[in-house]
Amino acid sequence: MTATIEYVRFETTDPAELTAHRDQLVSLLRERYGSDFLGAHLARFEDGSLLDFIVWSSPEAAARAAQEMPGDPAAAGFFSRIGTVHEMRHAEVLHSTQP
């Protein structure tokens, strides 16, 4: 299996509310996808757009979650606060390091 990054750049009108629902989303990802979910980061660009950066154990796990989660009622608190999506991509991890 090849680890896969899910990269989503999007807008929100309420970053504080979106962030407030982030822990619930991460808990849901852990519960639903178990060891296939490797981690997540949420960041803000200088232009105000946000980046959701999620690491999955495989491209299949990434594709499955991308298909299932946006319409899942348990994740609505987070996804309902996403506005325009500028880009969503999956990429194969070629090299990684940890401190």
- Asked: is 4-92 a CATH 3.30.70.100 domain? The reply is yes
**Residue ranges per domain, the chain?**
4-92
DSSP string, 21-86: THHHHHHHHHHHHGGGEEEEEEEE-TTS-EEEEEEESSHHHHHHHHHHGGG-GGGHHHHTT---EE
The whole-number pLDDT of residue 97 equals 86
Q: Report pTM.
A: 0.90
Q: What is the per-residue pLDDT across 44-64, written as a single tens digit (0 to 9) for each? A: 999 999 999 999 999 999 999
pLDDT digits (tens, 9 = 90+) for 20-47: 999 999 999 999 999 999 999 999 999 9
Residue 89 structure tokens = 């991509």
